[in-house]
């Protein structure tokens, strides 16, 4: 633990990282005090999950309009009884993002349970019942996020997962965004599951930044922030993190800070729409 804590605190003091953290924190603070969130936080947070699920699915290659996702989440449109592969990815993103609301209450005290629950929600749309909610076993591979390098060997997963939980345990002494971004990257790079790792990584970060108090309303949409830079940077920033170098990890942290800053701006747009009565 001391080594993990010291490493995270050191990363947070890198000037470029610190500047990004400050901008993201200020954007989240500004969002928190939006007039619409005095009485209609639940409505704005629900729309954040809709837009987050849509952006997360797009990062996985499943492009769908936000109106379609909203209707599916609200039950105005039924999910197809025999979904095609893209529809399965979309539903995985929706289910994982929705579950982030429920695991935020346990993620700081029981991160392993939160991780498993997020994968049950997302992975049940992509895998057989005996493959969800547990790390890969020897012989099981993962073909996701290959741009970030090879996935962790199943035999090494217990140690990597223990490291992930140590990161979460540092949440009281390390900026929330650093904890969330590192957790996101760790899941995406090690890929503990056969499928659904990207969805789970983003949902885990979403729950963390809310539980740590950086985005207590849950209205920011960090997934939109990642999507807007996807063509230029999401996979590349993860690859930089996977390199294990200080510069590579710092690049990822700067990228994540920018994503949350943009996600807070998206939350502001949601709040404006709620206040104006444009969202029902």
DSSP characters over 66-110: HHHHHHHHHTSSPPPSS--HHHHHHHHHHHHHHHHHHHTTTTTT-
Domain ranges of the chain: 2-276
Mapping DSSP to helix (H, G, I), strand (E, B) and coil, where does residue 58 land? helix
Q: Which residue is it, tokens 């922030």?
A: 225
Per the document, the length of the chain is: 280
Question: Which tokens go with 169?
Answer: 């345990």
- Per-residue pLDDT tens listing for the chain (280 residues): 559 999 999 999 999 999 999 999 999 999 999 999 999 999 999 999 999 999 999 999 999 999 999 999 999 999 999 999 999 999 999 999 999 999 999 999 999 999 999 999 999 999 999 999 999 999 999 999 999 999 999 999 999 999 999 999 999 999 999 999 999 999 999 999 999 999 999 999 999 999 999 999 999 999 999 998 755 589 999 999 999 999 999 999 999 999 999 999 999 999 999 999 887 6
Could you please state the CATH topology (level 3) that the domain comprising 2-276 is classified under. Fic-like fold (1.10.3290)
pTM higher than 0.85 for the full model? Answer: yes
Query: Helix axis angle, 176-190 relative to 2-12, nearest 10°?
Result: 110
Whole-angstrom Cα distance, residue 56 to residue 50?
10
N-to-C CA span, the chain: 46
Place of tokens 């029981």: 110
d(CA 26, CA 28): 5
Q: What angle do CA 222, 190, 91 make, to 5 degrees?
A: 50
Judge whether 12 and 256 are in contact, CB under 8 Å: no
């Amino acid at each position: 633990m001391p080594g993990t804590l010291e490493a995270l605190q050191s990363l947070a003091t890198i000037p470029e990282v610190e500047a990004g953290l400050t901008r993201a924190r200020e954007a989240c603070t500004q969002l928190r005090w939006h007039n619409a969130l005095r009485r209609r936080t639940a409505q704005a947070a629900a729309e954040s999950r809709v837009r987050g699920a849509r952006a997360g699915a797009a990062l996985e290659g499943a492009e769908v309009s936000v109106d379609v996702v909203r209707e599916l989440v609200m039950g105005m449109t039924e999910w197809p009884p025999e979904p095609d592969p893209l529809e399965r990815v979309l539903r995985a993103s929706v289910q994982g993002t929705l579950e982030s609301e429920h695991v935020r209450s346990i993620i700081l005290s029981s991160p392993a349970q939160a991780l498993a629950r997020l994968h049950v929600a997302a992975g049940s749309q992509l895998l057989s019942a005996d493959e969800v909610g547990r790390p890969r076993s020897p012989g099981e591979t993962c073909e996701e996020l290959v741009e970030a390098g090879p996935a962790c060997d199943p035999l090494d997963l217990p140690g990597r997962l223990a490291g992930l939980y140590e990161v979460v345990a540092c949440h009281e002494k390390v900026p929330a965004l650093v904890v969330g971004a590192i957790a996101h990257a760790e899941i995406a790079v090690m890929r503990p599951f056969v499928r659904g790792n990207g969805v789970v990584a983003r949902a885990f970060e979403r729950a963390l930044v809310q539980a740590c108090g950086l985005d207590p309303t849950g209205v920011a949409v960090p997934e939109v922030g990642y999507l807007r830079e996807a063509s230029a940077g999401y996979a590349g920033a993860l690859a930089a993190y996977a390199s294990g170098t200080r510069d590579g990890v710092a690049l990822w942290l700067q990228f994540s800070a920018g994503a949350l800053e943009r996600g807070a701006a998206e939350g502001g747009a949601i709040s404006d729409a709620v206040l104006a009565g444009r969202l029902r």
